[in-house]
Amino acid sequence: MTKDAFVALVTCFNDDETVNYAATRAQVRRQVAAGNNIMCAGTNGDFTALTFDEKVRLCAEVVEEVGGKARVIVNAGMPATFETVLLAKEFARIGVDGIAVITPFFIQCTQDGLIRHFSTVADAVTTPVYLYDIPARTQNHIEPATAKALASHGNIAGIKDSGGAQETLEAYLQVSREMPGFEVYSGPDHLILWALGNGAAGCISGLGNVMPETLAAILAGFNAGDDKAAEAAQEAFGAFRKDLYGLGYPPALVKRALYVMDPSVGASRQPALPPDPEQDRAIAALLVKHGLMAGAPA
């Protein structure tokens, strides 16, 4: 089976903090040209800062821009099941290929509560639903046994693991071995090649916003059986990741690195901190070091 790369697309903003849909479309074109699929309105897409209507329009603009040339998954997850279902229905109407549902945040959930939440969403649409686990941000974790229980639902197609721990990813992969048709997508950028080799259906990458061609090269090498090419691309990807994430919070740094390369991306909405010129200079130096930018800005 051919493995797929998705990029957890950034959402671009204007200086007045309104969504810059034109700039976001440009990022979509850049990713599709590299050979990557799109996930929008996720963690890297500032989904918590977007209104309901903005998410719906963002999804529609992304789907239109992709024009069938790649797959599109969109995150519908919110703390309340009710709003998550409303968003999921809108995204299904637009015609996405999959609907990701991040675990509820702010509200502490039991595993039974998570099963009920995800099942309710999956019952409400016919578009395939993907569980989305990122416990460091939501404080709710989908236990592997819970993932296995949900995998028996006819409209739950898989899970995105953004926990960062190899042992958790391995546990989800074991679920996929026991439950045919349940796909696992790796979120941690340093584990992409390992995950592919151990049965993952693909990856959903934040760092791919900055290095789309390198991300695509990991998948292309793996799919072609060219281990050396895949390993070289993963090594380059991992080296930049280590340097960039050493500066602070990964999603913010991904977006800021992209901004240094292309200011049309804009800053994130408040309460995100305003840009730090000193940090921008450090990011620019890393981009130059890794051959991602010709020279540091003046």
Annotated binding site: 204
Helix (H) or strand (E) holding 194: helix 192-197
CA–CA separation, 105 and 221 (whole Å): 37
Nearest CA among 153, 142, 144 for reference residue 109: 142
Length in residues, the chain: 298
Q: 160, 185, 255, 259: which is the annotated catalytic residue? A: 160
Residue 53 burial class via C-beta count within 10 angstroms: exposed 0-12, middle 13-18, buried 19 and up: exposed
259 noted as active-site residue: no
DSSP class of residue 61 equals H
Annotated binding site for pyruvate: 204
228 noted as active-site residue: no
Contacts 24+ apart (CB under 8 A), 15-19: 15/266, 17/269, 17/270, 19/50, 19/54, 19/57, 19/58
Distances (CA, A) of 39 to 149, 190, 217, 294: 25, 19, 18, 28
Cβ(287)–Cβ(260) below 8 Å: yes
Distances (CA, A) of 24 to 7, 58, 130, 195: 13, 9, 23, 29
CA–CA separation, 73 and 62 (whole Å): 10
Q: 132, 172, 185, 259: which is the annotated catalytic residue? A: 132
Dihedral sign (CA 86, 90, 91, 92): positive
User: Other C-beta atoms within 10 Å of 178: how many?
Assistant: 10
Catalytic residue ranges? 132, 160
